[in-house]
């Protein structure tokens, strides 16, 4: 078994058993990056010197018995909207092209303390706005399963890097599906935790009330191991929740007997690709065969999720992105006359079209006279959607759905019609609006050989249930390595 | 000219006396080198998040309780969006929809009588940084040390009708807040700032006139002048048949005129919305009770108690309680040495005289109650006389010296050796036969001269009562 084909948990075991050194693992990843980046463009920044230096320090701590956890020595990547001390963090935007944070995001700090080696920062849609990773100011990332296709987004760099074996696992962020949808497109496993589980401190905000950091990995076991490390109550994030336990690995049991699984009938109607539909329903059958009780049900308000999401996320974004003004850090236009002109030119040149579109939309819905009609109404819709899920979870342990209506589209197809692209978020967005945990697990490929993901959604703070369901499913249906990834 | 009435409402910003900022743990101390009291949060770095300082909420609650407000039990913060470099996030975290206090009032008294001034709301917010223009380099620099310093904004109802009422209201607020320890409320230093909303209307009119908002008012005197100036300007416009424009104006106290800053038409749309990075401020019954139980004695209560407990005139009570610092000093001193009347006298007469001389406020008093009490003790024990005591007090006032050590060191103590004093008195009687004769002839005033001569010979260090006693005995 080659180093790169291992999962994170398998690798750390081999490292602890001294069969593989941390340096070997890091070097293997760096070589893979070297070979793969020409084709995929998963990373904005790769930090070979830093990674090798970390490898040495971590190896020593492992040898001294200081580091014993399942991420010790594992080469990982971090999405480029998660601050890393001393390592450029750009949000794939020109406006932050040179920003080097003087602090680590809480989640990155947890990874480092657990002994993960940070290889670099992964590409994304600019400020996490997009579903294809094509809105990056540093070029699109390509899907390792077929480089004519997008990897999805916005955590497309993280998901394609895992699929291409350019890292063992990665951190992504999910505001409306940005972990689950690209995981589905890249054939990897990605989990969006309950809002408040992973600290947002140091995550460069897009939609603050929806953003959540989560793991992207080869399989469910790795996701649980990473979540164990990154989750925790953080006083620096007021929206962080003090949970009773942060042990997720114990949920990895191959047992779904008696588990009640609901399938929202409304998710399987018009707009869903037949091949995706078949694969997802087949996944439900796998769980049924293992003893789960699977039932179709009606989930209300599905059609209101997308408009509510785009109003709330854009409103928050319009304010969150106001700080990028050329005054304190990042890009500043070269020539300007006076303050107003500096702001205008800096922001016009620094932001890409999708970001501008959402800033304009957000500014509009918050403006005087429109606030009640749009923003307030969207907040009420959000509350009602949460109630719909509350009702569903009175009956079900897990809700099973597609992660996306299609497999990965071709490069260049999506941006031409942003509204169509927004509609692709239909299955993931409600989960963010309701603050729920969701996981996307590979469940097959379409006729073109592109991966399909099945999404499992849990009630708030019930990651363990979806981890158990996903783990049980993966026992029957192990993840497939990306055939195109050079090994 | 018709009869006009002035309608005034105030927006008062008060900087709270917390040690740390409202959303991070940076110091609020004045005077640090630029950008030394800063962190990722108060400089708006990407990914940073605010965490509410509990003390800010408690101060705001305390001020709300003291001004008879309803305390909002489920409150929120909102973002006020506008671009300016002193505002690092380009939004200010403030409260619009659910401010912490509402529907309060304070009672004032002016020559026009007693009146209740309504408080519309009090909300919490963060201060901005400071822009410094570098003439040499021709560029602007920003100092974020003040960014994130906690403020409360107290918004009154348009209940005031004169500059007198405005000053009485501000004095009242200032004393309440100082007594609570929530702020030092210094207008000159900007820890208390008042914006004046003013309109005029014909007496008896039901509708309010168009108002203007005046900023840059740095003292009570400037506020009074600005009100008179703006009132006159608006009346003149109306008399000329012109319209008052709703706008923000900047008061120039040197020129005694206000200048238009921006009109309603260019007013910004702040696009307020609930701050998603903070959770709602939920105030439980227990928390509210806890803050309520800690409320200190406020001025009105203190005045009533002084009247009850101490035999001092109302005027003195007024002055003593007119500054929290002064009242504290008074109470701390009598806790050591008793004698409220004597302590009050030292504060009312000598202290006030020296403050006036040095152009200082009662808040600037720097001597300790221990040293004033010790001085009073020296007088009581007959160690020094009053003339000496006044000299020593000046040194205490200026340098807070220990009077016991000072009197000892400078040899100012009265001679308590009766034998030595008797000898001097005998000498004075011998050397002044004319006065002795006058005394015996019934000119009782002559004894005054003999006391003076004795005191002179004693270099002022004798007890006048003892001299009188000895003279009466020896003559």
Write out pLDDT tens, residues B300-337.
899 999 999 998 999 999 999 998 999 999 999 999 99
Same domain, B126 and B202: yes
- Look at residue A146 in the predicted model and tell me its pLDDT: 96
Report CB contact under 8 Å: B273, A367.
no
Nearest to A339 among B47, B81, B85 (CB): B85
Arithmetic mean of pLDDT, B286-306: 95
- What confidence tens digit (pLDDT) does each residue in B111-152 have? 999 999 999 999 999 999 999 988 888 888 999 999 999 999
Same domain, B314 and B366: yes
CA-angle at A173, arms to A169 and A174, nearest 5°: 125
Residue where one domain finishes, among candidates B286, B309, B340: B286
Same domain, B320 and B272: no
Nearest to B46 among A204, A237, A343 (CB): A204
Same domain, B268 and B396: no
Sort out which chain A residues have CB atoms less than 8 A from B52's CB and list them: 238
| Residue B80 in contact with partner chain A when CB distance is under 8 A | no
Determine the 3-state secondary structure of B349 from DSSP: helix
Cα–Cα dist A208/B386, whole Å: 70
Sort out which chain B residues have CB atoms less than 8 A from A375's CB and list them: 273
- Look at residue A417 in the predicted model and tell me its pLDDT: 82
- How many domains does one find in chain B? 3
Arithmetic mean of pLDDT, B247-251: 93
Whether the per-residue pLDDT at A143 is higher than 80: the answer is yes
Same domain, B80 and B62: yes
- What confidence tens digit (pLDDT) does each residue in A170-190 have? 999 999 999 999 999 999 999
The per-residue pLDDT of chain A, averaged, comes to 96
Residue A484's pLDDT band, with cuts at 50, 70 and 90, is confident
Full domain range(s) for residue B142: 4-286
- Look at residue B433 in the predicted model and tell me its pLDDT: 85
Report CB contact under 8 Å: A319, B83.
no
Report CB contact under 8 Å: A371, B90.
no
Arithmetic mean of pLDDT, A354-373: 95
- What confidence tens digit (pLDDT) does each residue in A124-134 have? 999 999 999 99
Report CA torsion sign: A279, A281, A284, A290. negative
Six-digit token string for A73: 């020595």
Q: Nearest chain A Cα to B23, which residue?
A: A236
Sort out which chain B residues have CB atoms less than 8 A from A238's CB and list them: 49-52, 277-279
Report CB contact under 8 Å: B90, A322.
yes
Sort out which chain B residues have CB atoms less than 8 A from A207's CB and list them: 276
Same domain, B304 and B224: no
- Look at residue B415 in the predicted model and tell me its pLDDT: 65
Same domain, B405 and B424: no
Same domain, B341 and B250: no
Q: Nearest chain A Cα to B274, which residue?
A: A316
Least confident residue range of A15-24, A222-231, B99-108, B256-265: B256-265
Indicate the class that CATH gives domain A3-251. Answer: alpha beta
Same domain, B66 and B210: yes
Arithmetic mean of pLDDT, A370-376: 94
In chain B, pLDDT over 70 holds for what percent of residues? 99
pTM for the predicted model, two decimal places = 0.90
Cα–Cα dist B243/B257, whole Å: 18
Whichever domain contains B448, its CATH number is 1.10.10.410
- Look at residue A459 in the predicted model and tell me its pLDDT: 98
For A412, half-sphere exposure in the C-beta direction (CA atoms, 13 angstrom radius) is 2
Asked if this assembly's ipTM is beyond 0.85, the reply is: yes
Which phi and psi (to 5°) does residue A71 adopt? -105, 0
Inside any domain, residue B376: yes
Least confident residue range of A1-10, A88-97, A232-241, A307-316: A1-10
- Compute the nearest-CA separation of B75 from chain A (Å): 15
Peptide bond into A154 cis (omega under 30): yes
Report CB contact under 8 Å: B271, A327.
no
Inside any domain, residue B291: no
Same domain, B241 and B360: no
Residue ranges per structural domain of chain A: 3-251
Sort out which chain B residues have CB atoms less than 8 A from A208's CB and list them: 276-277
The helix-helix angle for B163-180 and B54-66 (nearest 10°) equals 130
Structure letter (DSSP) for residue B159: -
Least confident residue range of A152-161, A192-201, B431-440: B431-440
Whether the per-residue pLDDT at B393 is higher than 70: the answer is yes
Same domain, B422 and B458: yes
- Look at residue B417 in the predicted model and tell me its pLDDT: 65
Q: Is A79 a catalytic residue?
A: yes
Q: Which of A92, A131, A154, A158 is catalytic?
A: A154
| Residue A209 in contact with partner chain B when CB distance is under 8 A | yes
Cα–Cα dist A155/A181, whole Å: 9
Inside any domain, residue B281: yes
- Compute the nearest-CA separation of B301 from chain A (Å): 39
Arithmetic mean of pLDDT, A371-392: 96
Arithmetic mean of pLDDT, A418-433: 90
For A130, A181, A413, A416, the CA distances from A421, given in Å and listed in that order, are: 8, 12, 9, 9
- Look at residue A486 in the predicted model and tell me its pLDDT: 60
> Cβ distance A142 to A132 under 8 Å?
no
Same domain, B405 and B439: no
């Amino acid at each position: 078994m080659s180093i790169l084909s291992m999962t994170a948990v398998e690798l750390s075991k081999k490292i602890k058993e001294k069969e593989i050194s941390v340096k070997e693992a890091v070097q293997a990843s760096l070589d893979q990056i070297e070979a793969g980046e020409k084709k995929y463009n998963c990373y904005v920044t790769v930090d070979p010197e830093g990674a090798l230096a970390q490898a040495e320090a971590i190896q020593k701590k492992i040898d001294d018995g200081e580091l014993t956890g399942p991420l010790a020595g594992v080469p990982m990547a971090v999405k480029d909207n998660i601050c890393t001390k001393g390592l450029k963090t750009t949000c794939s935007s020109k406006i932050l092209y040179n920003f080097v944070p003087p602090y680590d995001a809480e989640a990155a700090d947890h990874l480092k303390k657990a002994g993960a080696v940070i290889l670099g920062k992964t590409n994304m849609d600019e400020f996490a706005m997009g579903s294809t990773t094509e809105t990056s100011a540093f070029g699109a990332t390509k899907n390792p399963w077929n480089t004519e296709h997008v990897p999805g987004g916005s955590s497309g760099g993280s998901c394609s890097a895992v699929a291409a074996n350019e890292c063992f696992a990665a951190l992504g962020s999910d505001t409306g599906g940005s972990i689950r949808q690209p995981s589905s497109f890249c054939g990897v496993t990605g989990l969006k935790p309950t809002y408040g589980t992973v600290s947002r401190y140091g995550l460069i905000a897009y939609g603050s009330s929806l953003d959540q950091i989560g793991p992207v990995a080869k399989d469910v076991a790795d996701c649980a191991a990473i979540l164990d490390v990154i989750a925790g109550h953080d006083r620096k994030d007021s929206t962080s929740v003090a949970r009773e336990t942060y042990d997720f690995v114990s949920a990895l049991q191959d047992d779904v007997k008696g588990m009640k699984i609901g399938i929202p009938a409304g998710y399987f109607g018009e707009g869903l690709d037949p091949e995706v539909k078949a694969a997802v329903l087949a996944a439900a059958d796998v769980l049924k065969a293992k003893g789960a009780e699977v039932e179709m049900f009606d989930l209300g308000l599905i059609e209101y999720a997308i408009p509510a999401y785009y109003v709330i996320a854009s409103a928050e974004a319009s304010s969150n992105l106001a700080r990028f003004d050329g005054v304190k850090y990042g890009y500043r236009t070269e020539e300007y006359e006076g303050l107003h002109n500096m702001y205008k030119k800096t922001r016009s040149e620094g932001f890409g079209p999708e970001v501008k579109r959402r800033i304009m939309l957000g500014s509009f819905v918050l403006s005087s006279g429109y606030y009640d009609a749009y923003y307030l109404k969207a907040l009420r819709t959000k509350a009602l959607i949460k109630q719909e899920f509350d009702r569903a979870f009175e009956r079900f342990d897990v809700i099973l759905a597609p992660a996306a209506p299609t497999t990965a589209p071709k490069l260049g197809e999506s941006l031409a019609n942003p509204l169509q692209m927004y509609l692709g978020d239909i299955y993931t967005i409600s989960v963010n609006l309701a603050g729920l945990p969701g996981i996307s697990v590979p469940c097959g490929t379409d006729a073109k050989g592109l991966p399909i993901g099945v999404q499992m959604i849990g009630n708030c703070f019930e990651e363990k249930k979806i981890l158990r369901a996903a783990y049980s499913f993966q026992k029957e249906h192990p993840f497939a390595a990306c055939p195109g990834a050079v090994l | 000219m018709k009869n006009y009435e002035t309608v005034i409402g105030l927006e008062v910003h008060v900087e709270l006396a917390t040690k740390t900022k409202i959303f991070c743990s940076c110091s609020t101390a004045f005077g640090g080198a630029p950008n030394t009291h800063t962190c990722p949060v108060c400089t708006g770095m990407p990914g940073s998040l605010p965490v509410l300082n509990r003390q800010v909420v408690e101060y705001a609650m305390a001020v709300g309780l003291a001004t008879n407000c309803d305390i909002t039990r489920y409150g929120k913060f909102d973002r006020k969006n506008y671009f300016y470099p002193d505002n690092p996030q380009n939004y200010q975290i403030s409260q619009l929809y659910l401010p912490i206090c509402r529907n309060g009032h304070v009672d004032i008294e002016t020559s026009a009588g007693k009146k209740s001034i309504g408080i519309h709301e009090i909300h919490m917010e963060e201060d901005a940084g400071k822009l410094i223009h570098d003439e040499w380099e021709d560029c602007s620099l920003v100092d974020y040390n003040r960014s994130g310093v906690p403020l409360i904004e107290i918004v009154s109802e348009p209940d005031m009708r004169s500059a007198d009422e405005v000053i009485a209201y501000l004095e009242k607020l200032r004393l309440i807040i100082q007594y609570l320890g929530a702020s030092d409320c210094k207008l000159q230093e900007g820890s208390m700032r008042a914006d004046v909303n003013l309109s005029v209307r014909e007496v008896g009119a039901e509708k309010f006139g168009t108002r203007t908002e005046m900023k840059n008012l740095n003292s009570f005197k400037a506020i009074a002048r600005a009100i008179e100036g703006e009132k006159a300007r608006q009346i003149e416009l109306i008399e000329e048949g012109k319209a008052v424009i709703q706008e923000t104006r900047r008061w120039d106290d040197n020129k005694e005129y206000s200048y238009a800053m921006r009109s309603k038409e260019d007013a910004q749309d702040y696009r307020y919305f609930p701050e998603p990075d903070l959770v709602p401020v939920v105030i439980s019954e227990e928390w509210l009770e806890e803050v309520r139980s800690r409320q200190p004695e406020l001025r009105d209560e203190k005045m009533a108690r002084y009247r009850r407990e101490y035999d001092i005139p109302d005027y003195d009570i007024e002055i003593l309680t007119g500054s929290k610092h002064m009242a504290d000093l008074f109470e701390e001193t009598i806790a050591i040495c008793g004698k409220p009347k004597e302590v009050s006298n030292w504060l009312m007469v000598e202290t006030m005289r020296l403050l006036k001389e040095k152009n200082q406020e009662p808040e600037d008093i720097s001597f300790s109650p221990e040293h004033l009490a010790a001085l009073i003790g020296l007088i009581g024990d007959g160690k020094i006389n009053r003339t000496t005591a006044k000299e020593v007090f000046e040194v205490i006032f200026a340098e807070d010296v220990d009077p016991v050590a000072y009197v000892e060191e400078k040899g100012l103590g009265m001679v308590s050796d009766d034998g030595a004093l008797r000898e001097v008195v005998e000498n004075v009687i011998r050397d002044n036969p004319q006065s002795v004769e006058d005394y015996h002839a019934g000119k009782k005033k002559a004894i005054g001269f003999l006391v003076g001569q004795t005191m002179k010979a004693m270099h002022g260090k004798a007890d006048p009562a003892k001299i009188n006693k000895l003279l009466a005995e020896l003559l």
